Amino acid sequence: MAKLLHFEFHKLIRQKSFYICLAVAVAMLVVSTYTTYLMSKDVMDTAEMGIDAMNVMIGSASGGVLSMVIGVFIPLFACEDYVSGTIRNIVTRGYSRLGIFSAKLIAVMLATAVMTIACMAAGYLIGLIFSGPGVESFDANTVKILLCQLAVMLAEGALFYAISTVLQKTGGSIAVCLVLPMVLTIVLTLADTALAEKDISLSAYWLERISGTLSSFDVKSADMKKALLTALGYFVVTSAGSFLAVMKREY
């Protein structure tokens, strides 16, 4: 397992797409913040635009851009060994399929965590440049919200990894990872409308929706617990399901 982890981490560090995707995510944050500034500068004061350091940071992991970038990077990274045929050499060396799957998953989770934390830090700096620190304080509640956002992004990363592992085709995996969140959001919203039940909301358990609820400073403790439990559920189900789907596949 140690050798597999070393192989995956070494590959991750040398992966150009990781740095390109991270740069794109940060660049999109800059563009989004600057666009908000240009559209609002003539009608309101900078302090009222919501582009201060704290607000940009709290929204950096829940605007959809980071999800899209991760949805591109993970298939590029996870499918590389399958497309190149390297996976056959790894299997023939006697490494277990569970070990191979787990090592890749750990590397993907590390990459997702680094991207998420880097975007949060970049969001704070971008907001600081445009509008200052803001009125919200960086307290324990803020840390809890950020940790919940990180957990949700890790769960989404696990979902994208599951898709990539099952499909094992870079192009198809990227397409599914980009389209699936939008399609599920629409389908679940329509399902909620059809059910017309105030106490039942299927879309409330979709990661994109949960991520949106964590984009403000007045998140309730119950919503944080729900986010963590849902993220854990997605992680366990997608990881276990994808491994069971490929554990006996021939390479």
The tens digit of pLDDT for each residue in 75-107 reads 999 999 888 888 888 888 888 889 999 999 999
- In angstroms, how far is the first alpha carbon of the chain from the final one? 20
Question: What local confidence, expressed as pLDDT, does residue 148 receive?
Answer: 95
For the chain, give every domain's residue range. Answer: 2-246
Instruction: Work out the percent of the chain whose per-residue pLDDT is above 70.
Output: 94
Q: Report the alpha-carbon distance of residue 51 to residue 240 in Å, rounded.
A: 40
The tens digit of pLDDT for each residue in 182-234 reads 898 898 888 878 877 666 778 888 888 898 889 888 889 999 999 999 999 99
Residue 42 banded pLDDT, cuts 50, 70, 90: low
Question: What local confidence, expressed as pLDDT, does residue 46 receive?
Answer: 61
Tell me the mean pLDDT in the region 166-186. Answer: 92
pTM above 0.85, yes or no: yes
Cα dihedral 217, 218, 224, 227 sign: negative
Q: Is pLDDT of 238 > 90?
A: yes
207 in Cβ contact with 201 (< 8 Å) = no
Question: What local confidence, expressed as pLDDT, does residue 152 receive?
Answer: 95
Tell me the mean pLDDT in the region 134-139. Answer: 82
The tens digit of pLDDT for each residue in 2-15 reads 888 888 999 999 99
142 in Cβ contact with 214 (< 8 Å) = no
Residue 246 banded pLDDT, cuts 50, 70, 90: confident
